[in-house]
């Protein structure tokens, strides 16, 4: 489906080429791909970063669009890319539609025709980025070639590398929320294992280890630049995500890292005029988890596992967490109160947040006992 979607574009096929790089041979598949017009590259590389670096040597175009093997392009995707890069764009990230393997839409960006264009104010864009998908990214080939060594080091989680390279070498970055990419979420993804809680935790641990390695590469690329602070926040968040499933020691996560992540999260929320109690709680809670006992972290991992199962397979019943487990998770929000005084320098803001935290705590406990 991925390759087929690249050939069913409104843009003339004479304006682009399709390269398929893979590490296996299949005579029937290769014949079908060749008949469509795809150029096949056989590689022994294992990671996406290594494969992209290898494919760049065969790519003839000036602009590179990425497409993972289980994602799809909407028919107007390449036409949009063609127009933007002809107008001077160096990096572009479009919106996406998330679907299950049955085709059910789980989430969809709200499409619009308003572009957010960042030239001199690229830092504003970097601060606002909350998630990336390489199948939504297009970038100039020369930018990737100039950072080939770091591309090889990024290995598996290359999304942040693409953005870092665009920030360093691109003059014009463009973002819109038009869902021009279909992102397929299913249980057989490399970052997901829904065979059971143990398999889920093991796979998440591997995935977040790779993301941490890539975040470190990105931070090293952007250190001592105007993007240093935001890159450090992303690195701290990557440590937090990995430490939820491994340990704070393995992730080299310190309490100062966690506090820095929360402090810069709040700074970003204020700068983007999107500060809400829910987002404050989410930032603090996620930062606390790695420092909690393993039993609490396993309860949180089980809750995340059930959330994935119910999102992808709503017909499968997942029993709710036990009352003690739910009460334990609710109680951890109280720990955020201790962080507020440290993170927020404004006493009035601290009191405002504490008031809403206490309301949230009391509401959560009433809700839990009402369901018990």
The structural domain count of the chain equals 2
**Percent of the chain topping pLDDT 90:** 38
> What is the C-alpha to C-alpha distance for residues 68 and 329, in angstroms, rounded to an integer?
36
**Between residues 91 and 301, the one the model is more confident about:** 91
Q: Are residues 165 and 277 in the same domain?
A: no
Q: Is the pLDDT of residue 151 over 90?
A: yes
In a domain, 190, yes or no: no
Closest CA relative to residue 230, chosen from 190, 191, 272, 201: 272
Closest CA relative to residue 324, chosen from 365, 362, 286, 291: 365
Q: Are residues 141 and 240 in the same domain?
A: no
The pTM for the full model equals 0.80
Q: Are residues 143 and 12 in the same domain?
A: yes
The reported pLDDT for the residue numbered 167 is 93
Q: Are residues 320 and 346 in the same domain?
A: yes
> What is the C-alpha to C-alpha distance for residues 235 and 211, in angstroms, rounded to an integer?
9
Query: Could you tell me the CATH number of the domain that includes residue 68?
Result: 3.90.550.10
Q: Are residues 73 and 116 in the same domain?
A: yes
Residue with tokens 């506090």: 259
In a domain, 366, yes or no: yes
**Residues in a beta bridge with 362:** none
**Between residues 338 and 59, the one the model is more confident about:** 59
**Between residues 319 and 69, the one the model is more confident about:** 69
pLDDT, tens digit, for every residue of 161-192?
999 999 999 999 998 888 999 988 755 555 56
> What is the C-alpha to C-alpha distance for residues 242 and 250, in angstroms, rounded to an integer?
8
Beta carbons of 191 and 68 less than 8 angstroms apart: no
Q: Are residues 97 and 38 in the same domain?
A: yes
**Between residues 23 and 14, the one the model is more confident about:** 14
The reported pLDDT for the residue numbered 343 is 55
The reported pLDDT for the residue numbered 144 is 97
Q: Are residues 250 and 173 in the same domain?
A: no
> What is the C-alpha to C-alpha distance for residues 301 and 296, in angstroms, rounded to an integer?
9
> What is the C-alpha to C-alpha distance for residues 16 and 7, in angstroms, rounded to an integer?
10
> What is the C-alpha to C-alpha distance for residues 300 and 127, in angstroms, rounded to an integer?
28
Q: Is the pLDDT of residue 368 over 60?
A: no
* Residue 229 pLDDT grade (very low, low, confident, very high; cuts 50, 70, 90): confident
In a domain, 191, yes or no: no
pLDDT, tens digit, for every residue of 336-360?
545 555 555 554 555 555 555 555 5
The reported pLDDT for the residue numbered 135 is 94
Q: Is the pLDDT of residue 310 over 80?
A: no
The reported pLDDT for the residue numbered 106 is 76
pLDDT, tens digit, for every residue of 17-28?
999 998 888 888
The reported pLDDT for the residue numbered 251 is 86
* Residue 314 pLDDT grade (very low, low, confident, very high; cuts 50, 70, 90): low
Segments forming the whole domain that contains residue 50: 2-185
Q: Are residues 139 and 215 in the same domain?
A: no
Average of per-residue pLDDT values in the chain: 80
């Amino acid at each position: 489906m991925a390759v087929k979607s690249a050939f069913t574009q409104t843009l003339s096929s004479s304006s682009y080429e399709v390269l398929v790089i893979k590490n296996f041979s299949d005579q029937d598949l290769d014949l079908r791909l060749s008949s469509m017009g795809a150029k096949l590259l056989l590689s022994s590389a294992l990671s996406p970063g290594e494969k992209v670096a290898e494919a760049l040597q065969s790519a003839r175009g000036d602009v590179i669009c990425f497409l993972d093997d289980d994602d799809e392009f909407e028919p107007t995707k390449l036409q949009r890319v063609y127009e933007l890069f002809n107008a001077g764009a160096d990096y572009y990230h479009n919106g996406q539609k998330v679907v299950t393997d049955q085709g059910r839409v789980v989430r969809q960006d709200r499409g619009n025709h308003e572009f957010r264009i960042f030239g001199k104010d690229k830092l504003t864009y970097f601060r606002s980025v909350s998630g990336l998908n390489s199948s939504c990214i297009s970038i100039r080939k020369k930018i990737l070639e100039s950072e080939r060594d770091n591309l090889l080091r990024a290995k598996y989680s290359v999304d942040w590398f693409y953005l870092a390279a665009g920030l360093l070498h691109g003059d014009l970055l463009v973002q819109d929320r038009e869902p021009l990419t279909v992102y397929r979420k299913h249980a057989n993804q490399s970052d997901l294992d829904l065979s059971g809680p143990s398999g889920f935790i093991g796979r998440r641990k591997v995935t977040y280890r790779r993301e941490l390695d890539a975040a470190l590469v990105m931070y090293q690329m952007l250190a001592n630049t105007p993007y240093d602070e935001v890159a450090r926040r992303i690195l701290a968040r990557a440590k937090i995500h990995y430490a939820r499933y491994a340990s704070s020691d393995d992730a080299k996560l310190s309490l100062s890292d966690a506090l820095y992540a929360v402090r810069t999260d709040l700074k970003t929320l204020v700068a983007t005029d999107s500060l809400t109690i829910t987002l404050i709680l989410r930032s603090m809670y996620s930062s606390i988890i790695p420092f909690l006992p393993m039993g609490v972290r396993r309860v949180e991992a089980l809750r995340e596992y059930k959330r994935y199962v119910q999102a992808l397979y709503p017909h499968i019943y997942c029993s709710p967490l036990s009352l003690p487990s739910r009460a334990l998770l609710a109680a951890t929000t109280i720990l955020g109160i201790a962080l507020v005084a440290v993170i927020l320098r404004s006493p009035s803001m601290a009191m405002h947040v504490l008031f809403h935290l206490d309301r949230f705590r009391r509401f959560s406990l009433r809700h839990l006992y009402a369901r018990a």
